[in-house]
Amino acid sequence: MNLPPLIQAFVLHFGEMGSRWGINRTVGQIYALLYVADRPLHADDIVEALGVSRSNVSMGLKELDTWRLIRRKHLPDDRRDHFTALEDPWAIIRTLAEERRKREVDPTLTVLRDLMLREPANGAERHAQARLGEMTEAIELLTSWADQVQRLPDERIVDLLRLGGGVAKVLEVGAKLKLLPGRKEA
């Protein structure tokens, strides 16, 4: 790998983080490289910059493509595909979040709902089912919230984030104005 030190540090770190974020090291590095690049890169640029095999780059690009985190561009007088990363950091955060949700929470919800429908065979199962119910409820609340917030326009989301802990205050006011749904007690 032969990159300016600042860029190299970022690329390496993002690669390591990638593994924790469920995208593999190479994919993370490719993404990082495209994200900071000041021009579209083609596959061989990436091979050279990262020192990994051509085929590995090809797989990585394909994966980033299915996640819609990069764009394929054709430059005039060049048959090779060129790639750029989405500019907006929110797009990345959103994509990663959606992707993880699809892989990590949706299947769990499906299983939990299915288990809730079964007839418990004995006391142990009855108890277990009650616990599953509590968990299902919490996860459903969380995901349906996430669903709805994700549909808001970006600026609204940013407003919400800027508000920070201040939501509490706004919630109070909201409650007084009867904007909130009545609280169901457990």
Partner DNA sequence: CCTTGATTTCAGAAAGTTCTGAAATAACAT
Partner DNA sequence: ATGTTATTTCAGAACTTTCTGAAATCAAGG
Residue that is written with structure tokens 């990069």 in the block: 70
Write down the least CB distance from residue 23 to a copy of itself, Å.
Answer: 12
Counting contacts by CB under 8 A, is residue 178 touching a copy of itself?
no
If you write DSSP's letter for every residue of 21-64 in order, what string do you get?
A: TTS-HHHHHHHHHHHH-SS-EEHHHHHHHHT--HHHHHHHHHHH
Binding site for DNA (CB under 7 A): 19, 24-27, 42-44, 52-56, 58-59, 61-62, 79-81
Count of beta carbons in the 10 Å neighbourhood of residue 37: 16
- Among DNA, a copy of itself, none, the one that 117 touches (CB under a kind-dependent 5 to 8 A) is none
Residue 75 interface partner, choices a copy of itself, DNA, none, CB cut-off 5-8 Å depending on type: none
Return d(Cα 13, Cα 184) in angstroms, integer.
46
Minimum CB distance to a copy of itself smaller for 44 or for 134: 134
* 27, two tokens: 């994919």
Regarding 7 and contact with a copy of itself (CB under 8 A), the answer is: yes
Q: Which of residues 40-69 bind a copy of itself (CB under 8 A)?
A: none
Are the C-beta atoms of residues 42 and 83 closer than 8 Å to each other? yes
Question: Least distance to DNA from the beta carbon of 106, Å?
Answer: 18
